[in-house]
Structure 1
Amino acid sequence: MRKIDRQRIIRRILQENDIYRQEDLVAILQAKGIEVTQATISRDVKDMQLLKVPTPNGEYRYSVPPSVKTSTEKKLNRILKEAYVSSDFLRDMCVFKVLPGNGPVITSLITQMAYDEVFAALGDDDTVMLFAKSDEDAQKIHHKLLDMIGEE
């Protein structure tokens, strides 16, 4: 499994469960048929900048820091607003034309956001190509990004 897919699943697990130890996360992932080691999860915890936050019962659980996603989303919003030229979608693909030099940065930020609709993102100097998981998802991510920059 790709790291980005595994980390997307970890985010979802943390939203739905109170996870107190990395071993608990390993067990849940393995129960879902995802083979991981505790060392892999340890690297994911560091890479995702997960926090341990107190619970009402005095224990500490893992949580995704809100500022990381918010910061990434703010950067994506700002750069898209500044660089957006045009966009369209067809079937399960979505393409954004941007000012030269902005494609790689926007592609990276979209990847970091780990949108559920996006299977993969590729970017060159002035183009961002999004491959969605379905035709409907291509339309959703297209509209989501346009809404973000006020182009809808």
Structure 2
Amino acid sequence: MIEANLTEGGTHLKKSERHAIIEHLIRTHVIHTQEELLALLKENGVTATQATISRDIRDLKIVKSIDASGRASFQQLQSESPDVQSETQHLSQLTQDVVTKIDRVQFMTILHTIPNNAPILAAAIDEVTMKEKVCTLAGFDTVAVISPDEASAIILETFFKQNLN
């Protein structure tokens, strides 16, 4: 069991403490779903809502990657210094990890991801300053990147395709 400094009620931790426990669990267990993560947290004395865990997953840049058995499980991306170079590298790595297909329709680049990873990918795209991007829209497993014109969309499509392989 993970040692945690719990409050008197035994259920509330500081966000940083909860994040540390989640990171430890992700490193030491194969976790396929948020429900499994919630159960492991509960076993370790941490009570949290599904919404809180979803935010934590996004904050910690945890994604689902296909493991050796062919099932998707949670993995934490390695964080780098917060400069433009590392943001681009992070986006490249995330593209390799979660994007399954890339399409372009005129001024939009459509990125298909493994389930439940589109919001994380869209957030990573939003972090990188690119003149070829106006905004992103994310669903469950699809991100639409809207560009100011078709030429810009072609540049983005090329960038993502180069990072897909």
TM-score normalised to structure 1 length: 0.52
Superposed counterparts of 1:2-151, under 5 Å? 67-150=82-165
Shift of 1:136: 1.0
Q: Distance in 1 between the 2:154 and 2:160 partners?
A: 10
Q: How many residues align?
A: 85
Higher helix share: 1
Give the RMSD, CA atoms, in angstroms. Answer: 1.5
Percent identical pairs in the alignment equals 16
- The match for 2:64 is none
Q: Distance in 2 between the 1:108 and 1:131 partners?
A: 14
Shift of 1:131: 0.6
Q: Which amino acid aligns with 2:142?
A: T
Deviates more, 1:67-76 or 1:111-120: 67-76
Find the residue that maps to 1:114 and give its secondary structure: coil
Q: Which amino acid aligns with 1:147?
A: Q
Shift of 1:111: 1.0
8 Å contact from structure 2 (residues 93, 163) kept in 1: no
Q: 5+ unaligned residues in a row in structure 1: which ranges? A: 1-65
Deviations 1:115-137 (A, max 9, x none): 11111111122111011110111
Q: Distance in 1 between the 2:132 and 2:156 partners?
A: 6
Q: Distance in 1 between the 2:110 and 2:86 partners?
A: 24
Misfit runs of 4+, over 3 Å: none
